[in-house]
Structure 1
């Protein structure tokens, strides 16, 4: 079994996965004997073993600041999906709406920075994987074929030149894509892609529609996923998981 968890910000703000919960998750994974692999290793896995993939969308700076040291401490790998167009940009989060905006306002007032070239090179030095997440984070299914091609090809070329690194993993911004997107990835040198569809990794399925789980805030939900019983998670448990997130209640 392969479980693929995804994260965005790791920190102590209203839109972040709390640092203590992140470390607890790593410790729990080790206790349950899950082997850490990068996204580009899923097709090399042993079907008799359990694996976990940790993916980080957008590459917020607080992930580098708060999560990297814990990954190294507990001997975990990570796959980091980069949006080069966010270099040097500050985006604004909203506790009320639980999302980010390019503009600061009364509701969008929590600043978030992103990793840059220095941090990306450090990630590679530490044995992590870098993947593409488009250049500017658009909804790909809202773009025409040439606009999609530009977002995909430029992001890959930019990162490969900057890092002197060949990448072949992709993640769809906001989980939005269509058949055109998949064809462009296949013809553009990519071998696999992450969605936001909930479920376990199927190594025999479409490599461009790999499922993931949003990192859970509830210990019960986490353990249910690790036992291969995500289908047993009730609506009430999902509500409690959301409440746990909003009030930062510890496990």
Structure 2
């Protein structure tokens, strides 16, 4: 209780002194995590909470688009205001069905980063497949080849045990994701039904074009949502370049930005940034928490974002902003 009060007091005192800059807020899914058979951790917030966030951004910040951010970077414009840039990773269908109407209602731009393989041939993404397996297994612990320790999931909630397993799998660079999932199924003695494997969880190209034609930015999240730092140079180049070409073909406009899948410090490298620049992207987003306070050349292809998750209230969102300013 005391800790919570102190946090709110700190936020209240710090808020008037927030620095000018670009506050990039990153969402994934919008909706009710309880109604999903897959990974509950990718739900940022409910529809009602998202609308509250959009009102807050419009009240306390100046919302901008990726195109406006690119213009500011290329002109080295002084950041004399607090700007809000709203981004979504993955391109789940609720981005179109739930978030997009709210954004239109409040005339607020946003950017949506899509992994093109999931639009070209709908199927369950690897993280949701892992989540389903972990949700349904009866084993008390999980250990895959090359893991130093097993993961105890016996007394964890669904959200926590999925988070634990995904954290280790994302760090494991020893094998491909399909190989890790195949072993996970065997270890967990649990196999996802074919009827679910080809579920359509993401927007389609028609919806992506509608959003693009109505002022929303569509960027690349690679082809397959592979963790780029786990790939060799040829594989990274393919993921970065071909996804750009595919989006441009469907939307009939240049694809100017990319968001690295997973996006933490270990999910991309200097090589990744070089390849993104060479492919013709104007900027790239990481998933490292923070605020864009300047347009330094070494930051242009690893711009920081503020993660929005846990169905946070506006008060909690303000805490996140102050903590990462």
Residues 1:68 and 2:88 aligned together? no
**Alpha-carbon shift at residue 39 of structure 1 (Å):** 2.4
Runs of 4 or more above 6 Å deviation: 101-104, 106-112
1: distance between equivalents of 2:219 and 2:82? Answer: 23
**Alpha-carbon shift at residue 218 of structure 1 (Å):** 3.7
**Alpha-carbon shift at residue 60 of structure 1 (Å):** 0.2
Match of 1:215 among 305, 308, 318: 308
Task: Classify 1:85/1:20 alpha carbon distance in 2 versus 1 (closer, same or farther; 3 Å).
Answer: same
Residues 1:26 and 2:114 aligned together? no
The answer as to whether partners of 2:24 and 2:84 remain within 8 angstroms in 1 is yes
RCO comparison, higher one (Cα < 8 Å, 6+): 2
Task: Classify 1:231/1:179 alpha carbon distance in 2 versus 1 (closer, same or farther; 3 Å).
Answer: closer
Provide the TM-score with structure 2 as the length reference.
0.64
- 2:145 alignment partner in structure 1: none
Provide the TM-score with structure 1 as the length reference.
0.82
Deviations 1:166-222 (A, max 9, x none): 011010000111111111111110111110110001332311010001115143332
Structure 1, unaligned runs of 5 or more: 233-251
Please show how residues 113-192 of structure 1 align to structure 2 within 5 Å.
113-175=201-263, 176-192=267-283
1: distance between equivalents of 2:247 and 2:64? Answer: 22
Residues 1:201 and 2:221 aligned together? no
The structure where strand makes up a greater share of residues is 1
Structure 2, unaligned runs of 5 or more: 1-20, 35-39, 133-157, 167-176
Q: Which structure has the greater CA radius of gyration?
A: 2
2: distance between equivalents of 1:72 and 1:186? Answer: 31
The answer as to whether partners of 1:170 and 1:190 remain within 8 angstroms in 2 is yes
**Alpha-carbon shift at residue 2 of structure 1 (Å):** 1.4
1: distance between equivalents of 2:218 and 2:25? Answer: 16
Deviations 1:7-60 (A, max 9, x none): 11111124222111101101112222x121122322526622221111110100
**Alpha-carbon shift at residue 90 of structure 1 (Å):** 3.4
CA RMSD of aligned residues (A): 2.7
Count matched residues.
Answer: 229
SS at match of 2:32: coil
2: distance between equivalents of 1:222 and 1:46? Answer: 26
The answer as to whether partners of 2:96 and 2:207 remain within 8 angstroms in 1 is yes
Match of 1:2 among 22, 25, 34: 22
**Alpha-carbon shift at residue 139 of structure 1 (Å):** 0.7
The answer as to whether partners of 1:39 and 1:55 remain within 8 angstroms in 2 is no
The answer as to whether partners of 2:79 and 2:294 remain within 8 angstroms in 1 is no
- 1:12 alignment partner in structure 2: 32
The answer as to whether partners of 1:198 and 1:212 remain within 8 angstroms in 2 is yes
The structure where helix makes up a greater share of residues is 2
The answer as to whether partners of 1:40 and 1:169 remain within 8 angstroms in 2 is no
SS at match of 1:202: coil
